[in-house]
Amino acid sequence: MASAFPPSSIRPILNEVTSLLISRNETISVAETAAGGIISASLLSVPGASKFYRGGLTLYTLESRIQFAGWTEENKRNYNGPNAEVVSGLAKNVRERLGSTYCLCESGTAGPGGSGATPNRKPDFVALAVASEGGVVTEETTTGAKGDREKNMVEFARLGLELLKRVLVEKAEGSKI
């Protein structure tokens, strides 16, 4: 019987990403919110993870972002939900603190409900970022899973790993990121 973890939708991209990191002797850190640790746990499920995984934070609450990710009370007051600016800042901060080559950050609205009328506060929205020495690449997207919390969490993780793969491939092709 096949293991239920990592989720089957994540396994192929996980294998590609970890192979690239190991072959280049590069490292990853993770800052995730609504994925709840699925990205980190998936990376850690790969034998030899200590070669590429520098650490991760599950920054689910705004207070945890203040304590562990360089946020201020002003960031908390001005927070309008997940977006490219939020994940970019978290990714840069965590990458610097953990000394990794890359930091993958995810922040989304998993559902089943949302807390606002704007698209980034509705279930299935996710903002993603990958920070490196060369800068930050961001993406905002939806999963199509609406209010299915568990499906959104897994999709947020998969989409984050897909973005990381694109950054890794672009770097191999000569991009500065």
Residues 40-65 pLDDT 10s: 999 999 999 999 999 999 999 999 99
Give CA–CA dist 35/108, Å, rounded. Answer: 8
pLDDT number for residue 173: 77
Asked if residue 176 has pLDDT above 70, the reply is no
User: In angstroms, what is the C-alpha Rg of the chain?
Assistant: 15
pLDDT tens per residue across span 99-148: 999 999 999 999 998 887 899 999 999 999 999 999 999 999 999 999 99
Q: How far is CA 56 from CA 18, 74, 86, 108, in A?
A: 15, 24, 17, 17
Q: Tell me what pLDDT residue 177 has.
A: 64
Q: In what order do the strands lie in the sheet with 125-132?
A: 53-58, 28-32, 102-108, 125-132, 135-142
pLDDT in tens, 140-175: 999 999 999 999 999 999 999 999 999 999 987 776
Assess whether pLDDT exceeds 70 at residue 7. Answer: yes
159, 161, 167, 169 alpha-carbon torsion, rounded to 10°: -110
pLDDT at 174: 74
